[in-house]
């Protein structure tokens, strides 16, 4: 289906359903953009985490058991 056909179909919908289509489309665009931004940020920081031991110093404690003191 072409974009032009989609728009024509959306125009035939009642107003409330058209709003719903627009809202869901915007949500999906925002979600996709957020995912893209997070991937870019992770890629930018990857080299830092691989090469800077200060950033990963506490990962050696990941499998340690911690107990709350009272």
DSSP string, 13-57: S-HHHHHHHHHHHHHHHHHHHHHHHHHHHHHHHHHHHHH-TTTTG
Structural domains counted in the chain:
1
Q: Is the pLDDT of residue 56 over 90?
A: no
50 domain-assigned: yes
pTM: 0.60
Is the model's pLDDT at 8 over the cut of 90?
Answer: yes
Q: What is the mean pLDDT of residues 21-40?
A: 97
In a domain, 8, yes or no: no
Q: Is residue 7 part of a domain?
A: no
Residue 32's domain comprises 14-54
Task: Tell whether 33 is covered by a domain.
Answer: yes
């Amino acid at each position: 289906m072409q974009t032009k056909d989609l728009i024509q179909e959306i125009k035939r919908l009642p107003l409330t359903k058209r709003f719903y289509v627009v809202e869901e489309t915007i949500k999906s665009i925002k979600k996709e953009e957020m995912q893209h931004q997070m991937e870019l940020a992770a890629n930018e920081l990857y080299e830092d985490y691989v090469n800077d031991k200060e950033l990963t110093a506490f990962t050696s404690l990941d499998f340690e058991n911690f107990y709350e003191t009272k």
